[in-house]
């Protein structure tokens, strides 16, 4: 079955904190490597320039959206980053309407990955979609404000599906990668590993032990990074994560791949 993956760059913004604080252990070597290999992740002042990617995966079985970005103006993530998302426009440009999305897979439930989950009237934005999240993520969220804001309207509409651990989902495989959050998951397709925040910065592909200050369990996150990098090496699949400008391998950016690489950063 032919699978097509299109990156939808919901927004680009400078991380609001110094990269040295966000990534403990950050060094001049990390900075020089990133500037040389992935300058699109370095802001003009040397700060951390993030891309906020969702992924549209289409096949004869339908249309799947992996993560829903930062959301519209006024959303929590948009206010934090000082910009707004544009995912609905990007989907329209790709020729896919919100009602044509049959599955939304959330790698995890953070404000910059679930921002377009619902409409302004707190209805599921993707009215015909099943939203898939790990049970461990739901257990972690409980009935707190994040669940209330991003998932409760989905559950109320009967569109929320919880899965437990690594498992098959249609033509994909969900790969449990905890650490960033307890229920973080990657989506393994025939084209790429859609990695969410298993790698938040491209330098983590070169130095997987480089931790992120907002990882729930940094030691477990390092193990998950090694796990995904090993999977990528074994399968030959690039890792297309949410925030790096392009797809990655264990040694750095992928420079010569298929249509996936060509599309990264262009929508």
Q: For 221-246, what is the mean pLDDT? A: 92
Q: What percent of the chain has pLDDT over 70?
A: 92
Higher model confidence: residue 249 or residue 261? 249
pLDDT averaged over the chain? 91
Q: The domain spanning residue 192 has which CATH number? A: 3.60.15.10
Mean per-residue pLDDT, 116-140: 97
245 band by pLDDT with thresholds 50, 70 and 90: confident
Average pLDDT on 154-181 reads: 97
Q: How many structural domains comprise the chain?
A: 1
Confidence of residue 255 (pLDDT cuts 50, 70, 90): very low
Residues 153, 123 contacting (CB under 8 angstroms): yes
Long-range own/partner contacts, residues 228-234 (CB < 8 A, 24 or more apart): 228/175, 228/177, 228/186, 228/193, 228/195, 228/198, 228/199, 229/205, 231/175, 231/188, 231/193, 232/193
State the pLDDT at residue 71.
97
The range of the structural domain enclosing residue 114 comes to 4-263
Q: Mean pLDDT over residues 122-129, rounded?
A: 97
Q: Which residue has the higher pLDDT, 261 or 82?
A: 82
Nearest one of 137, 204, 134 to 163, comparing CA atoms: 134
Percent of the chain residues topping a pLDDT of 90: 81
- pTM confidence score: 0.93
Residue, of 228 and 267, whose pLDDT is higher: 228
Mean pLDDT along residues 202-222? 96
Split at pLDDT 50, 70, 90, the class of 69 is: very high
pLDDT of residue 42 exceeding 80: yes
β 185-188/193-196 pair status: antiparallel
Whether residue 68 contacts residue 105, with contact meaning beta carbons closer than 8 Å, is answered with: no
> For residue 259, is pLDDT > 90?
no
- Name the token pair of 49: 């320039």
């Amino acid at each position: 079955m032919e699978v097509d993956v299109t990156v939808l760059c919901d927004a680009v913004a400078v991380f609001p904190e110094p990269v040295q604080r966000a990534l403990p252990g950050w060094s001049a070597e990390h900075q020089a490597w990133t500037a040389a290999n992935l300058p699109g992740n370095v802001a003009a002042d040397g700060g951390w320039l993030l891309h906020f990617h969702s992924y549209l995966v289409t096949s004869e079985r339908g249309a799947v959206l992996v993560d829903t970005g930062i959301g519209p103006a006024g959303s929590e993530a948009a206010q934090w980053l000082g910009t707004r998302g544009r995912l609905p426009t990007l989907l329209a440009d790709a020729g896919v309407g919100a009602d044509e999305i049959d599955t939304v897979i959330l790698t995890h439930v953070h404000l910059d990955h679930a921002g377009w989950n619902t409409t302004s009237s707190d209805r599921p934005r993707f009215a015909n979609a099943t939203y898939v999240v790990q049970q461990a993520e739901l257990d972690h969220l409980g009935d707190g404000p994040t669940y209330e804001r991003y998932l409760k309207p989905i559950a109320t509409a009967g569109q929320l599906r919880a899965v437990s651990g690594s498992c098959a989902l249609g033509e994909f495989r969900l790969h449990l990668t905890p650490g960033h959050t307890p229920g973080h998951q990657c989506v393994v397709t025939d084209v790429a590993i859609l990695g969410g925040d298993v790698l938040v910065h491209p330098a983590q592909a070169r130095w997987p032990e480089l931790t992120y200050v907002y990882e729930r369990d940094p030691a477990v996150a390092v193990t998950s990074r090694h796990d995904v990098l090993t999977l990528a090496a074994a399968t030959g699949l690039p890792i297309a994560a949410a925030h790096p400008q392009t797809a990655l391998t264990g040694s750095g950016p992928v420079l010569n791949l298929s249509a996936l690489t060509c599309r990264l950063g262009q929508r």
